[in-house]
Chains A and B, each alone.
Chain A
Amino acid sequence: MILVYAESIDGNFKKSTFEAVSYAAGIAQSNGTPCVAVSIGNVDDAKLAELGNYGADKVVAVNSSKLAVFNAEGYAKAFATVAAAEGATVVIISNTYSGKAIAGRVAAKLKAGIASGVISVPNTGNGFVVRKTVFSGKAFADVNLTTAVKVLAITPNTFDTNTFGKTASVTTADGSLTDADFISSSVEISRVTGKIPLTEAELVVSAGRGMKGPEHWGIIEELAQVLGAATACSKPVSDMHWRPHSEHVGQTGITIKPNLYIAIGISGAIQHLAGVSSSKVIVAINKDPEAPFFKAADYGIVGDAFDVLPKILDAAKKLKAAN
């Protein structure tokens, strides 16, 4: 039986949740076994049942006032309790910040081998081998999990959401929780509204030192807004506090794999490329024709960002207006 964590935020499932459920359902289908999704926290029944669309045969909802906000110990215990009760052999979690927070705990509870950053379906031809990103995107490793129960933390934005059109039955479970499972507690949550989180973005507009100063970011933000993209930056830019650390992509920042990554005025140091090289399409804009980024890019423009960007912004506005 394949079990999948259906992560929700404020009662809503995320796109990464639908990806994880579809991924789990795909494995379940090829093994002729059911796919069970576990939702923790307050999600209404209609939304729970909707997971059937993405391939869940059954949804187990664990809810209590204590589970209203995320807590790694409580959520991991609730999830692992259901996994054990259902007899899960493969457990799928999306590798989001909260997914990562419970993945290790769940593996330890289930005495399960675990791989995170997984980007392939398991190959069961000779063992149980999954591919994961290593060296922050500079390479891939194939890992064989040798335990009876396996936990896979899959990379968001990697697998398609598939429609299975099943009707999922919804049941509830209590997760066997006690006060001792809630020692850490959430005090306050602040989410940036009206902006696309970088880790979930399908399109990313990123800029580096070539922008010459934080006062020139207006056009970057405008282009991102027109395209519906998130903004990102290089390490020097966040080190100089031109942009927040949360925008820094690269080996010591965030690793992302959007459909489109536009790099403006970023030379393309190996540490930066590591964090973005899995992007589907890469555009490099740099005035230095020797910039290493051009070797990693699909499209390139050799030119000054301040000349080139207004033309691109204008064309993007026209495209959006026409569609």
Chain B
Amino acid sequence: MKILVCISNVPDTTTKVTFTDNNTKFNTAGVQFIINPYDELALTRALEITEKQGGTVTAINVGLADAEPSIRKALAIGANDAVRVNAEPIDAYFVAEQITAYAKAENFDLILTGRESIDYNGGLVGGLLAEMLGIPSVNVVTTIEVENGIATMERDIDGGKEKVSCKLPLVASAQKELTEPRIPNMRGIMAARTKPLKVVEVSGDLKTSATVGFELPAAKGGVKLIPAEQAEQLIDLLHNEAKVI
């Protein structure tokens, strides 16, 4: 079993988001970067699968050299090897093309991504990648079991769950419940230093989009406080003033 896990390097969830250069660039000053939490779940689940039935887990990232601490962490958690495509991840289309260029010669049985990255929230790489590779895709999976070349998954649907079965190879994107993340141990951290991390160059130069600017949401006008003893007034305000109920 050969599994590829796509890793995005993202700002920690506690980050206070600000921008520089006239609101055209994300301000990375003082920001801690981490493996995208959903990708970390995908990685952990990949390891659980290969530990049970043998195989290898490769982590891939499209990013510049500053993403390497997150890639090393993926190796410390347990990935066998890693690949970094040396490029700024412009958008989902670009990232999917770069991963496709690497993956098409490697014949992975299973490719896992997070259901979205917590920075750009696209949730698109899995579907784009699967289409470019010409294989099936199942998104927002909360369980995945692989047996005899068939993956059985549960995925979120609006208002419920769906059980899906699919012959390998396929691309699946990890939703929160998939598993619990693993904290790398000392042995893993030591081993990660010598595990292979291959850097490959960009293939193709198709540009489909460009981010032209950012904006922070407008500040709220200020809270209207209701005394706790007259909490029932809330319903009247929501009905007659805010008109939402």
Contact = CB atoms under 8 A, between A and B. Distances in A.
B21 interface: no
Interface in A247-296: 248, 251-253, 255, 259-260, 269-271, 274, 277-278, 280-285, 294-296
Contacts of B233: 315
A191 B157 contact: yes
Contact of B225 (A252, A300, A308): A300
A104 B220 contact: no
Given A141-B211, A142-B212, A246-B156, A255 B234 contact: no
B200 interface: no
B190 interface: no
A307 B158 CA distance: 34
A314 interface: yes
Interface residues of B, number: 84
Nearest to A108: B131
A263 to B, nearest CB: 12
B166 to A, nearest CB: 4
A139 B98 CA distance: 27
Interface stretch (A41-49, A196-204, A207-215): A196-204
Given A184-B164, A283-B238, A197 B158 contact: yes
A199 B211 CA distance: 27
Interface in B155-192: 155-167, 170, 176-177
Interface in B207-245: 207-217, 220-221, 223-228, 230-239, 242, 244-245
A129 interface: yes
A116 B124 contact: yes
B245 A252 contact: no
Contacts of B78: none
A133 interface: yes
B121 A104 contact: no
Given A100-B123, A104-B92, A253-B176, A281 B238 contact: yes
B59 to A, nearest CB: 20
A303 interface: yes
Contacts of A68: none
Contacts of A187: 152, 162-165
Contacts of A85: none
Contacts of A200: 158-159
B55 to A, nearest CB: 21
B125 to A, nearest CB: 7
Nearest to A184: B166
Contacts of A203: 244-245
B214 A134 contact: yes
B128 interface: yes
Contacts of A84: none
Contacts of B17: 135, 138-139
Given A76-B127, A252-B118, A299-B238, A183 B166 contact: yes
A144 B209 contact: yes
A210 to B, nearest CB: 13
A302 B228 CA distance: 6
Contacts of A112: 208
A282 B239 CA distance: 14
Is the contact region of chain A dominated by helix, strand, or loop, or is it mixed?
mixed
Contact of A9 (B155, B158, B167, B237): B158
Contacts of B211: 141-144
A311 B244 contact: no
Given A116-B121, A299-B223, A96 B156 contact: no
Contacts of B235: 312, 315-316, 318-319
Interface string B121-145: 1111111111110011111101000
A260 B245 contact: yes
B220 A296 contact: yes
A190 B244 contact: no
Contacts of B13: 251-252, 270-271, 274
Contacts of B102: none
Contacts of B51: none
B234 A301 contact: yes
A163 interface: no
Given A184-B170, A189-B157, A308-B231, A72 B210 contact: no
Interface in A207-248: 227, 245-246, 248
A36 interface: no
B47 to A, nearest CB: 20
Contacts of A252: 13, 37-38, 118, 176
A248 B122 CA distance: 19
The 5 closest A-B CB pairs, nearest first, are A104-B127, A303-B228, A113-B208, A191-B160, A197-B159
20 contacts: A72-B136, A97-B140, A100-B124, A104-B124, A107-B93, A114-B124, A117-B122, A135-B118, A135-B121, A136-B118, A140-B216, A143-B212, A144-B210, A147-B209, A184-B138, A186-B163, A245-B176, A260-B238, A299-B224, A312-B231
Given A145-B209, A189-B162, 7 more contacts: A140-B214, A183-B166, A203-B244, A274-B13, A281-B238, A307-B231, A315-B234
